Structure 1
Amino acid sequence: MDKQVKATHMQIEPGILLKTIDSPEDLKKLDPAQLHQVCEELRQYIIDVVSVHGGHFAASLGVVELTVALHYIYNTPYDQLVWDVGHQAYGHKILTGRRDNFYTNRKYKGISGFPKRSESPYDTFGVGHSSTSISAALGMAIAAKYKQEDRKSVAIIGDGALTAGMAFEAMNHAGVSDADMLIILNDNNMSIDPNVGALKEYLTDISVSRTYNKFKEDVWNALGKLPIGKTFTRAMASKLADSLKGMVNKSSNLFESFKIRYFGPIDGHNITNLVQTLKELKKIPGPKILHIITVKGKGYAPAEKEQTKWHAPGLFDKITGEIYKKKFDVAQPPKYQDVFGHTLVELAGQNPLIMGVTPAMPSGCSMKFMMDSMPDRAFDVGICEQHAVTVSAGMATQGLKVFCNIYSSFMQRAFDQVVHDVAIQNLPVIFCLDRAGLVGEDGPTHHGAYDIAYFRCIPNMVLAAPMNEQELRNLMYTAQLDKTDFPMVIRYPRGNGVMADWQKPMQEIQIGRGRRMKTGKELAILTYGHPGNFAAAAIREVQRDGLDPAHYDMRFCKPLDEALLHEVFQNYSQVITVEDGTVKGGFGGAVLEFMAAHHYQATVEIMGIPDRIVEHGTPKDLFIEAGYDSSSIAGKIRQMLGETNGDGATAISVESSLKATSTSGRTPGATSES
Structure 2
Amino acid sequence: MSDAELRQLADELRAETISAVSQTGGHLGAGLGVVELTVALHAVFDAPRDKIIWDVSHQCYPHKILTGRRDRMRTLRQKDGLSGFTKRSESPYDPFGAAHSSTSISAALGFAVARDLGGASETGHGDAIAVIGDGAMSAGMAFEAMNNAGHLKKRMIVILNDNEMSIAPPVGALSSYLSRLYAEAPFQELKAAAKGAVSLLPGPFQEGAKRARDMLKGLAVGGTLFEELGFSYLGPIDGHDMDQLLPVLRTVQDRATGPILIHVLTKKGKGYGPAEAARDGGHATAKFDVVTGKQKKSPSNAPSYTAVFSDAILAHAAEDQRICAVTAAMPDGTGLKLFEERYPSRCFDVGIAEQHAVTFAAGLAAGGLRPFCALYSTFLQRGYDQVVHDVAIQRLPVRFAIDRAGLVGADGATHAGSYDVAFLANLPGMVVMAAADEAELVHMVATAAAHDEGPIAFRYPRGEGVGVEMPDRGVPLEIGKGRIIQEGKGVAILSFGTRLGEVRRAAEALGARGITPTIADARFAKPLDRDMILDLAARHEALITIEEGAVGGFGSHVAQLLSEEGVFDHGLKFRQMVLPDIFIDQASPEDMYRVAGLSAEDIEAKVLELLGVARISDQRA
Pair in the same fold by TM > 0.5: yes
Show the counterpart of 1:155.
130
1:606 to 576, 580, 595: 576
Find out whether 1:513 has 2:481 as its counterpart: yes
| In 2, Cα distance between equivalents of 1:357 and 1:458 | 22
Shift of 1:643: 2.7
Residues 378-430 of structure 1, C-alpha deviations (whole Å, 9 max, x = no match): 11110000000000000101111100001000011001000110011000000
1:342 to 267, 288, 311: 311
Shift of 1:164: 0.6
Show the counterpart of 1:92.
63
Find out whether 1:313 has 2:285 as its counterpart: yes
| Matched ranges for 1:134-533 at <5 A | 134-147=105-118, 151-211=126-186, 245-282=216-253, 283-308=255-280, 310-328=282-300, 332-481=301-450, 484-533=452-501
Q: Percent identity?
A: 43
Shift of 1:214: 5.4
| In 1, Cα distance between equivalents of 2:365 and 2:474 | 23
Shift of 1:87: 0.7
Show the counterpart of 1:635.
605
Shift of 1:585: 0.5
Task: Go from structure 1 to structure 2 and tell me whether the alpha carbon gap of 1:319 and 1:462 turns closer, same or farther (over 3 Å shift).
Answer: same
For structure 1, the 5+ residue unaligned runs are: 1-29, 229-233, 649-674
The residue type paired with residue 525 of structure 1 is: I
| In 2, Cα distance between equivalents of 1:256 and 1:150 | 26
Show the counterpart of 1:597.
564
For the Cα contact (< 8 Å) 1:462–1:559, is it kept in 2? yes
SS where residue 255 of structure 1 aligns? helix
Task: Go from structure 1 to structure 2 and tell me whether the alpha carbon gap of 1:363 and 1:31 turns closer, same or farther (over 3 Å shift).
Answer: same
Residues 616-653 of structure 1, C-alpha deviations (whole Å, 9 max, x = no match): 111011011101111211222222223325899xxxxx
For the Cα contact (< 8 Å) 2:195–2:222, is it kept in 1? no
Shift of 1:311: 1.3
Residues 262-320 of structure 1, C-alpha deviations (whole Å, 9 max, x = no match): 11111100123211110001121100101111110111001001042621111111012
SS where residue 99 of structure 1 aligns? helix
Task: Go from structure 1 to structure 2 and tell me whether the alpha carbon gap of 1:439 and 1:150 turns closer, same or farther (over 3 Å shift).
Answer: closer
More divergent stretch after superposition (294-303 vs 625-634) = 625-634
| In 1, Cα distance between equivalents of 2:349 and 2:443 | 25
C-alpha RMSD of matched pairs (Å): 2.3
| In 2, Cα distance between equivalents of 1:288 and 1:335 | 45
Residues 89-130 of structure 1, C-alpha deviations (whole Å, 9 max, x = no match): 001111111111111111001111100001111101010100
| In 2, Cα distance between equivalents of 1:240 and 1:313 | 43
| Matched ranges for 1:13-92 at <5 A | 30-92=1-63
The residue type paired with residue 537 of structure 1 is: R
2:553 to 556, 577, 586: 586
For the Cα contact (< 8 Å) 1:440–1:622, is it kept in 2? yes
Task: Go from structure 1 to structure 2 and tell me whether the alpha carbon gap of 1:124 and 1:541 turns closer, same or farther (over 3 Å shift).
Answer: same
The residue type paired with residue 183 of structure 2 is: V
The residue type paired with residue 560 of structure 1 is: L
Structure whose alpha-carbon radius of gyration is higher: 1
Shift of 1:245: 3.0
| In 2, Cα distance between equivalents of 1:185 and 1:151 | 20
For the Cα contact (< 8 Å) 1:216–1:245, is it kept in 2? no
2:79 to 108, 111, 127: 108
Show the counterpart of 1:668.
none
For structure 2, the 5+ residue unaligned runs are: none
Task: Go from structure 1 to structure 2 and tell me whether the alpha carbon gap of 1:52 and 1:213 turns closer, same or farther (over 3 Å shift).
Answer: closer
For the Cα contact (< 8 Å) 1:297–1:307, is it kept in 2? no
The residue type paired with residue 70 of structure 2 is: R
| In 1, Cα distance between equivalents of 2:304 and 2:188 | 47
Show the counterpart of 2:590.
620
| In 1, Cα distance between equivalents of 2:246 and 2:192 | 19
SS where residue 261 of structure 2 aligns? strand
Task: Go from structure 1 to structure 2 and tell me whether the alpha carbon gap of 1:516 and 1:146 turns closer, same or farther (over 3 Å shift).
Answer: same
Shift of 1:504: 2.3
| In 1, Cα distance between equivalents of 2:24 and 2:335 | 26
For the Cα contact (< 8 Å) 1:212–1:248, is it kept in 2? no
For the Cα contact (< 8 Å) 1:423–1:487, is it kept in 2? yes
Question: TM-score, normalized by length of structure 2?
Answer: 0.93
Residues 447-488 of structure 1, C-alpha deviations (whole Å, 9 max, x = no match): 01011111111111111111111211111112122x532100
For the Cα contact (< 8 Å) 1:246–1:252, is it kept in 2? no
For the Cα contact (< 8 Å) 1:513–1:555, is it kept in 2? yes
| In 1, Cα distance between equivalents of 2:441 and 2:187 | 53
For the Cα contact (< 8 Å) 2:29–2:281, is it kept in 1? no
Task: Go from structure 1 to structure 2 and tell me whether the alpha carbon gap of 1:238 and 1:646 turns closer, same or farther (over 3 Å shift).
Answer: farther
The residue type paired with residue 598 of structure 1 is: E
More divergent stretch after superposition (377-386 vs 469-478) = 469-478
Shift of 1:218: 8.9
For the Cα contact (< 8 Å) 2:193–2:234, is it kept in 1? no
More divergent stretch after superposition (210-219 vs 383-392) = 210-219
The residue type paired with residue 573 of structure 1 is: E
The residue type paired with residue 274 of structure 2 is: P
The residue type paired with residue 376 of structure 1 is: S
| In 1, Cα distance between equivalents of 2:232 and 2:327 | 33
Show the counterpart of 1:18.
none
For the Cα contact (< 8 Å) 2:194–2:209, is it kept in 1? no
| In 2, Cα distance between equivalents of 1:646 and 1:101 | 40
Show the counterpart of 1:656.
none
The residue type paired with residue 310 of structure 1 is: G
Show the counterpart of 1:654.
none
The residue type paired with residue 449 of structure 1 is: S
Question: TM-score, normalized by length of structure 1?
Answer: 0.86
Find out whether 1:555 has 2:523 as its counterpart: yes
